[in-house]
């Protein structure tokens, strides 16, 4: 039976470390698939003007395309070069909730994330998201420094 591991990426070097650890774990496990997940931080509680609402769907699609091109596809290339079965997803939402939900829907055995991003503002977002994920996850979470 194939074991699934979710690796949460942040688009920074810290995400690369989480991915490298995921590859190491996949090689140790053997029959393993890695699902890389990139979450675009988004809150349904934001208030928008009518003009912003008209453009919202188009912006979301553009963000997904950019995240796939910049983060997910390069990660999938790295995984395939390492001989690891892999797939990827880009989602909008709260980082911790979304990664936890994806892990549950995919029947993942483990989640791997980095401790924090390397950017200033992003560090605060992903730092707290990592802590929230660890506290709320339904499966074990490995945090890579």
The CATH-assigned architecture of domain 3-144 is 3-Layer(aba) Sandwich (3.40)
Give, as one character, the DSSP assignment of residue 71: I
Among residues 40, 34, 38, 52, the alpha carbon closest in space to that of 8 is found at 38
How far is 144 from 7, CA to CA, in rounded Å? 11
What are 71-112's pLDDT values in tens digits?
999 999 999 999 999 999 999 999 999 999 999 999 999 999
What is the domain partition of the chain in residue ranges? 3-144
| Interacting residues of 21 by C-beta distance below 8 A, sequence separation 6+ | 112, 142, 144
pLDDT at 121 over 50: no
pTM for the predicted model, two decimal places: 0.85
What is the pLDDT confidence band of residue 115, given thresholds at 50, 70 and 90?
confident
8 A C-beta contact, residue 16 and residue 143: no
């Amino acid at each position: 039976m194939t074991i699934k591991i979710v690796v949460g990426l942040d688009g920074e070097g810290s995400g690369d470390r989480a991915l490298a650890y995921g590859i190491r774990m996949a090689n140790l496990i053997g029959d393993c698939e890695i699902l890389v997940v990139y979450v675009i931080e988004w809150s349904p509680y934001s208030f928008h003007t009518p003009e912003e609402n008209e453009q919202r769907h188009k912006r979301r699609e553009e963000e997904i395309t950019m995240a796939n091109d910049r983060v997910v596809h390069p990660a999938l290339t790295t995984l395939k070069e390492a001989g690891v079965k892999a797939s990827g997803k880009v989602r909008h939402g709260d980082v911790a909730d979304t990664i936890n939900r994806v892990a549950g829907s995919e029947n993942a055995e483990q989640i791997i994330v980095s401790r924090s991003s390397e950017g200033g503002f992003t560090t605060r977002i992903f730092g707290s998201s990592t802590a929230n994920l660890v506290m709320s996850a339904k499966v074990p979470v490995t945090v890579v420094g």
